[in-house]
Amino acid sequence: MSTAATMELNAAETGSVAPTRLHHFNYVCRDHEETRTFYEDVLGIPLVSFFCEVEQVPGLGEVVLGHAFYGLADGSQIAIMNFPNHPDMREPALEAARTLPNTIHLAVNVTAKVQERAREKLTDAGVEFMEVDHGVVRSIYFRDPNGITIEYTVDPTNVAELSEYALRTAHENMRAYLAGDHSEQKHKMAKTVTARFDS
């Protein structure tokens, strides 16, 4: 039996609330094509998803974000984002991370039940958390005592279907984005494949 399968079995027996695996780690880049060339062409880590998101950020107004996801063998991802309309937030990347500390965070995959338990535990401990329904995943964000932002994220039950759609559209979405099309590609995905959650 693999280590992962053994851990899953142990978790089922003990009721462990330990996250199952890393979901993704998010970082900021200066330039998506430069970054894609490095991860995909140099290191051989494939671009498995790319979408543009438009968010209203207090104090900044409308912010366009381009999200690229590079897939690791166990299904976890390295997520790289940038802000095409806010050069001060992308140059250099670390400055952007300081401006918006949540852009650098460690995300782990959890079940809906474990996420619910975490909500209760955080509330009991007086730790603030933020909930975001991304459509394709449902997340809560909170900080550890050292200031590291942690995301507990729940995949939909049809995650395989969504991943397949994301893989098929990753390169065309990135090309459109780089060509200046900053329309919300995430919505296109939501119209084509509806994410399903147990609760």
Query: What is the smallest separation between the CB atom of 170 and Fe ion, expressed in angstroms?
Result: 17
Nearest distance, CB of residue 79 and Fe ion, angstroms: 6
Assign 7 to helix, strand or coil.
Answer: helix
Residue type for 82, please?
Answer: N
Report in angstroms how near the CB of residue 94 gets to Fe ion at its nearest.
18
Smallest distance, Fe ion to C-beta of residue 86, A = 19
Nearer to Fe ion, 26 or 109 (CB): 26
Question: Which residue's CB is nearer to Fe ion, number 8 or number 53?
Answer: 53
For Fe ion, the closer of residues 8 and 22 by Cβ is 22
Q: Which residues bind Fe ion (CB under 5 A)?
A: 26, 107, 151
Token pair 């997520």: residue: 79
Sheet of strand 105-109, all strands in order from the earlier edge strand to the far edge: 47-57, 61-71, 77-82, 21-28, 105-109, 149-154, 138-143, 130-133
Q: Are 97 and 103 in contact (CB under 8 A)?
A: yes
Q: Which is nearer to Fe ion, 8 or 122 (CB)?
A: 122
Q: Which of 55, 57, 106, 54 is nearest to 78 (CA)?
A: 106
- Non-local (6+) Cβ contacts of 7 within 8 A are 20
Which residue number, 10 or 151, has a Cβ lying nearer to Fe ion? 151
Smallest separation (angstroms) from Fe ion to the CB of 55 = 13
The CA-atom distances, in angstroms, between 55 and each of 17, 58, 197 are 32, 10, 23
